Structure 1
């Protein structure tokens, strides 16, 4: 990691230069996630058992506390009816925080346990330090693109424990962040769901067997932003009637595709300034109301939907970085002046051990993993969070970092 005297660097963050401390953080986080993995597996096999699975997983299930199995349940996403809607078989959303695409106006009558809504491999995730709500989701598959876009266009279940319910109008998602290329190393990582040429329209059909109206998707405009290593697009959505004509007013959102984060890795050091620039651009774009003239009372900072391919590794690291940057005011606050960030529910695994309990990166990663399985998958992604935060302090202080041996 970079090592230098940086004015204003928090005391806890100085430990990022200490290899022994980082090792403790990584090992502790790994151990706690292994417990969650076992609890998720137990919930899956309890909910959808076969005789073969019951026998093979009996010992591991008995070793996991019942409260863990309930808390980390992935029963809905593990249902055979939804298996084809998961991009990866080992990434399934927690039941208690999952996003449900609900028919009609969303309300607290449509919680994450709602059975009448549509399934999406996505979770509500809130920054621990920064306080902002996100929808962390896998990249769309060809047969899930309609549901993915319906998050923006239709009603969805509100974040757990909040009063945020007007998600069709005032609190509607206006920004989608994509952290994966559509193709990486010859493999399809994300399905393309809007046309590449400005003014062109595509029609996205609902999943087979559903009677939902098709969605017309139009690319309004697009631009490359070199400093932020991204492509920023404005996309229009409109429902189609039975005779395939647009109905209602079009709904706009901004799509920001970051181009410098490789799969199974982290952005190169020479791209870190671009990553910080991209993060600031995302925050500014989400607060931009210029596309929505004539609409009053819009949420000035609505939830952002973010995906990589699985929606856990790069997605988790990105949210963690944004949270800590927001906490230290490198990004605009998520709350109104004087408004406090409410605490998130405590983990049934208990607090972090005393030697790392003051480490905000460890706290943030742990909190994200409580809300969506496997967030910040890799050790180098955890290290990236430390390094990016240090870079932000160094940049603000005009200090050049010196890479340690």
Structure 2
């Protein structure tokens, strides 16, 4: 990271410009996540105590406190009945923040413990610094695409402790961000769930043994936005009856595919400006109401659904970047003027060490990992968050100088 002084950069970010500090951050974050991993294993052992499982996790579960085990429980996603819905066996959502896909209008009965809803490997995640709600999820599998799209068209459980309640209409998800290519290195990373040709439609059937209505998915239009390294698509969803007749009104959402974030890596230095532009484009797209004329009282800034392949590494880094950019007003605020952001529940692990009290990147990552397992997986993704925030301040200084020159 750069050693020179950047006008306007916060002091804590200046202090992070050294290898010793970054090494300390990585060590502390890894230590805390190891404790969460053991707690998740213990919760899995308690929920599904087969002899083989009990023996394989005995050593790691003996030293885990019961309050850790309860807080970091992954019982629902570890159930053998839904294990095939997880793209990766070691990425399972926390019970307390998981998204429940509900049949019909969500109600107070549709909570994280709802047994009548459908399982999705996804968690509600709120930015620590910026305050915005996201749904962090794995990329769809062929048999989970219907449930994935039902988040938008059918409704879901509200985030814990939030004021969002009408997630089928007013607070409906209108934007999906995809940070992985569908194919990477010859491996399938994401199932394709809408057609590639404008005007074309596909029918997505529910998972086998379910009676949910099919969904007709149509590509309305697609646009390459080169400066943001992005393909932005407008997609229509329509529920169908048993005889394939439309049910209700179609629902539109916008899909943004970022093309320059490799698996097991980070965007190249020459692509960082594009990443900043993409982050701003996501925020602007989510606030765009031009597709929804005639619909009153829509949430001007509803939750965004974001995925990479597993929904933790690139997904976590992108949410962290968005949160910090929002905090420093490079993105629009998540709340209305005068509204305060309520605090998130404290971690049972306690606060980060005093040396990291002011480090907003470390605080943000640790908070994200409290809400979904393994967020911001890689060390280079941690460094990327610092560097992207620095790049935003550098770009702001450059834009200010260009503006002054233009007025001179």
TM range (shorter): over 0.9
RMSD: 1.0
Q: Which residue of 1 aligns with 2:141?
A: 141
- In the TM superposition, residue 109 of structure 1 has moved relative to its aligned partner by 1.8
Report if aligned partners of 2:6, 2:394 keep a CA contact under 8 Å in 1. Answer: yes
Are the aligned partners of 1:201 and 1:217 in contact in 2 as well (CA < 8 Å)? yes
- Offset at 1:357? 1.4
- TM-score, normalised to structure 1, is 0.98
Structure 2: segments with no counterpart, 5+ residues: 401-408
How far 1:16 moved relative to its partner? 2.3
1:2 corresponds to 2:5 = no
Is 1:14 the counterpart of 2:17? The answer is: no
Match of 2:287 in 1: 287
Structure-2 separation of matches of 1:109 and 1:99: 13
Query: For 1:156, what is the secondary structure of its paired residue?
Result: coil
Task: Report Cα offsets for 1:325-378 as digits up to 9, x if no partner.
Answer: 000000000000011111000000000001111100000000000000000000
* Cα distance, 1:135 vs structure 2: 0.2
SS in 2 for 1:106: coil
Residue equivalent to 2:268: 268
Residues 6, 399 of structure 1: 8 Å contact kept: no
Per-residue CA shift, 1:214-247, capped at 9, x if unaligned?
A: 0000000001000000000000000001111112
Contact 1:86-1:121 within 8 A present in 2 as well: yes
Q: TM-score, normalised by structure 2?
A: 0.97
Q: Which moved more, 1:321-330 or 1:97-106?
A: 97-106
Distance in 1 of aligned mates of 2:340 and 2:159: 17
Q: In 1, distance between residues paired with 2:176 and 2:378?
A: 23
Aligned counterparts, 1:155-304, within 5 A? 155-304=155-304
* Residue 399 of structure 1, CA deviation: 8.6
Higher deviation after alignment, 240-249 or 134-143: 240-249
CA distance in 1, matches of 2:2, 2:226: 25
Number of the residue aligned with 1:45: 45
Q: For the residues of structure 2 that align with 1:59 and 1:88, how far apart are their CA atoms?
A: 23
CA distance in 1, matches of 2:162, 2:17: 38
Whether the 8 Å contact between 1:234 and 1:252 is mirrored in structure 2 is yes
Specify the alignment match of 1:116 in structure 2: 116
Does the alignment pair 1:70 with 2:85?
no
1:74-115 per-position Cα deviation (integer Å, ceiling 9, x unaligned): 000000000100000000000000000012211222111111
SS at match of 1:63: coil
Q: Does 1:366 align with 2:366?
A: yes
Asked whether the 8 Å contact 2:183–2:190 carries over to 1, the reply is yes
The runs of at least 4 consecutive aligned structure 1 residues that moved more than 4 Å come to: none
1:348 corresponds in structure 2 to 348
Counterpart in the other structure of 2:391 = 391
Q: Which residue of 2 aligns with 1:98?
A: 98
2:334 paired residue number: 334
Query: 1:311 — aligned with what?
Result: 311
Counterpart Cα distance in 2 of 1:268 and 1:23 = 21
Q: Does 1:378 align with 2:378?
A: yes
Aligned equivalent of 2:131: 131
Q: In the aligned structure 2, how far is the partner of 1:76 from the partner of 1:267?
A: 34
Greater shift after overlay, 51-60 or 74-83?
Answer: 51-60
Query: Retained in 2: the 8 A contact 1:203–1:215?
Result: yes
- Structure 2 distance, partners of 1:110, 1:218, is 29
Number of residue pairs matched by the alignment? 400
Counterpart Cα distance in 1 of 2:394 and 2:167? 38
Structure 1 distance, partners of 2:259, 2:382, is 20
What is the CA–CA distance in structure 1 between the aligned matches of 2:4 and 2:271, rounded to whole Å? Answer: 20
Query: How many angstroms apart in 2 are the aligned matches of 1:337 and 1:105?
Result: 30
